[in-house]
Amino acid sequence: MLNISREKVSDKIKSYGFEALTKVEAKKSNKVLRKIIYVGLAITFVIMFLPWTQNIRTNGKVTTLKPGQRPQSINTVIAGQIMYWYVQEGDFVRKGDTILRIAEVKSEYFDDKLLNRTKDQVEFKKNSINAYDNKIKTQTDQMALLTNQRDLKVEQLQIKLAQSKLKVQNDSLSYDAAKTYYLIAQAQFKRADSLYKDGLKSLTDWEKRRNNLQDAKAKETTAKNKWLNSKNELFSILLEISNTQVKYKNDINKLQSDLFSTQSNKLDAETNLSKLENQFSNYEYRNKLYHILAPQSGYITKTITSGIGETIKEGEKVVTLMPQDYELAVELYVEPIDLPLINIGERVRIQFDGWPAIVFSGWPNASHGTYGGIVYAIDQYISDNGKYRILVSPDTTDYAWPDALRFGAGTNNMILLGDVPIWYELWRRINGFPPNFYADKQEEKSNKK
């Protein structure tokens, strides 16, 4: 029947008894089949040259452009016991609103007057520093007075020393005069004694010369004794000057030592004051941490820790907050082989989960229910899943994204590339080439020509 074999059976079978066989073997059915085949081939040939928009298909999810607009967990800074909840899931809170209140669980902070006591300690330490300042001022004044007194005393002794030097000089001259007078008297007595022995002088003249000699000797001795006393006084004044300087120096050194000790004690007091002020600031700030506040306006999505009287640790998550104002974006991942084809500003067609759409892969402009996006940012490093992350922002020239869209919704994305014929797209897919790669090479060659 299909005329595959050379042996024919048409002579042995009576086809007029079978209506279907009769129609199949009719000449008219063969022509219709050929027409269908030819028309199909013609349509396929025409379709092969129709434009096809290359794209990269990938899944993603809705996120936000700014990190501060994404859902965040609110943590407690200190450990505590939950005393009261001011919100519940789904409530809207403004920035600074109280979410819950906790109580202290550490024994070193149980004192309800801890802040006032610490403040009093700070004031006491400040008064102690003021007392040290007054003591330093007093010791400094004492040193100044003692130094002035030393200078006056030394100056007085210097004047006395000058007077003593003049007296020593005067007594030395008197002693020299007395020695000269004694020598003259001694010479006169010798002459008188010689003349007396020769009978030329009387006994009275001899006795007179002897008396003059003894009187000159006495004056010489007196002058010498006075001169030595003056020198002794001079040495005493020099010794007194030295003793005075040593005495005042010891007193000043003692005052300086006391002054340094006072200054050291003041520095210790200032160090303790700084520690107390720091401690007071920590206590004051810790009191504010008993009320956990909303960092920004938004909606309470989930309470992670619940219950009254439940204990929470430092840094533990309490609730999650979704900010009120946010700019939506789409987060998607592409294979490393497709990354060189994507640039910032590239257009993307997005189909959101929950929004029905009719999608034509190669003809995005003919699709319905998809929304436009623009490639906003491309990560410079690969993610843990072995792909590169891309952020897509809304296309302001296209339809606005749905108002009911929420963070975390799934998306099906098409990153639009160049337009190529369908036959080229089939050839590329069969060979496993990346989209638009060789087309770009051909465009570069044509541009060079």
pLDDT in tens, 320-371: 998 888 888 899 998 887 787 788 888 888 888 877 766 656 556 656 668 8
Structure tokens at 222: 């007196």
Q: Indicate if 114-288 has the same CATH topology as 71-104+290-323.
A: no
Residue type at position 318 = V
Cα three-residue angle 103-107-109, rounded to 5 degrees: 60
Q: Return d(Cα 82, Cα 239) in angstroms, integer.
A: 84
Record: fold of 52-68+326-421 = Elongation Factor Tu (Ef-tu); domain 3 (2.40.30)
Structure tokens at 316: 């533990």
Residue type at position 349 = R
The answer to whether the CB of 102 falls within 8 A of the CB of 348 is: no
The answer to whether the CB of 260 falls within 8 A of the CB of 267 is: no
- Under CATH, which number does the domain 114-288 receive? 1.10.287
Task: Count Cβ atoms below 10 Å from residue 59 Cβ, excluding itself.
Answer: 12
> Residue 419: which residues within 8 A CB-CB, separation 6 or more?
51, 52, 53, 54
pLDDT of 260: 92
Output the pTM of the full model: 0.58
- Under CATH, which number does the domain 71-104+290-323 receive? 2.40.50.100
pLDDT of 271: 92
Q: Return d(Cα 110, Cα 104) in angstroms, integer.
A: 7
Comparing 245 with 53, which gets the higher pLDDT?
A: 245
| 3-state per-residue secondary structure call for 253-297 | HHHHHHHHHHHHHHHHHHHHHHHHHHHHHHHHHHHHCCEEECCCC
Domain range list for the chain: 1-48, 52-68+326-421, 71-104+290-323, 114-288
Structure tokens at 7: 């042996």
Task: Count Cβ atoms below 10 Å from residue 157 Cβ, excluding itself.
Answer: 19
Structure tokens at 4: 């595959």
pLDDT of 277: 92
Comparing 35 with 130, which gets the higher pLDDT?
A: 130
